[in-house]
Amino acid sequence: MSGRVLVGVKRVIDYAVKIRVKPDNTGVVTDGVKHSMNPFCEIAVEEAVKLKEKKLVKEVVAVSCGPQQSQETIRTALAMGADRGIHVEVSGKDYETLGPLQVSKIMAALAKKEDAQIIILGKQAIDDDCNQTGQMTAALLDWPQGTFASEVTLDGDKIKVVREIDGGLETIKINTPAVLTADLRLNTPRYATLPNIMKAKKKKIANVKPADLGVNLTSKLEVLRVEDPPQRQAGMKVETVEDLVGKLKESGKV
């Protein structure tokens, strides 16, 4: 039985929200906009909790880096079945430039401090769409990585991971300790029930500062401008299939 699993969870603008770019082109509007847990992180939490239910791991610790509100995201993970939370508090200017490099340094430091055997993250956050943090955390720890996982099987001190790759699926076997990143197909996250939400309020969330972990948050990436993508020209409705095929032939598309 492996010991401890760390799960990274990120608070992002809800996936169903149509985002708006700020008029001064410095970013997107986040104030007063509905936020929730990044969908890939929910899948990561679900997988960790499942491992615990199968008694393959002892403890699941949910970690989030960000401002005060990140605690809500940790609470959600606790309500889904994580045992305790760690909130790595990052706010103000530092939060604006917080990227995968900084988060992976925090995750790596926590993994050592907490003596974790497995780290599970989502494959990407739906706000920055980076798809980097898991890979970078694995690199900093010199652990193997099982990214875009659609099936995870613990097998003694190894993990068999089925990965989603471009042409289909690929199976690898990696040593523990290891970092896994969850793809959509890994599982279907459970809904937190009201009793579990109430119970989650009693679970502990530790507050940590990046400096306590010896992580420097300096960033050498600078966002110069955020803007709307070019708008497509409004199209036309056609009445029949003949019309459609005719139009496509006229424009030389078929």
185 binds another protein (CB under 8 A): yes
Residue 64 structure tokens: 């989030």
Is the Cβ of residue 117 or residue 133 nearer to another protein in the bound state? Answer: 133
Instruction: Show Cβ contacts of residue 150 under 8 Å, excluding neighbours closer than 6 positions.
Output: 162, 163, 164, 169, 183, 184, 185, 186
Tell me how far, at minimum, the Cβ of 223 lies from another protein, in Å.
6
Is the Cβ of residue 78 or residue 120 nearer to another protein in the bound state? Answer: 120
CA gap 206, 220 in Å, rounded: 29
| 15-23, 54-62, 112-120, 205-213 -> range binding another protein (CB under 8 A) | 15-23
Tell me how far, at minimum, the Cβ of 46 lies from another protein, in Å.
15
226 binds another protein (CB under 8 A): yes
- Three-state DSSP at 135 gives helix
Q: Which of 121, 110, 109, 175 has the alpha carbon at shortest distance from 147?
A: 121
List the one residue from 50, 94, 140, 205 that touches another protein (CB under 8 A). Answer: 140
Interacting residues with another protein between 74 and 133 (CB under 8 A): 99-101, 104, 123-124, 126-133
Interacting residues with another protein between 41 and 70 (CB under 8 A): none
List the one residue from 7, 90, 143, 149 that touches another protein (CB under 8 A). Answer: 143
> Site size for another protein, by CB under 8 A?
81
Per-residue burial over 137-170, b if 16 or more Cβ lie within 10 Å, else e, is bbebbebbbbbbbebbebeeeebebbbbeeeeee
Is the Cβ of residue 195 or residue 235 nearer to another protein in the bound state? Answer: 235
Interacting residues with another protein between 151 and 170 (CB under 8 A): 160, 163-170
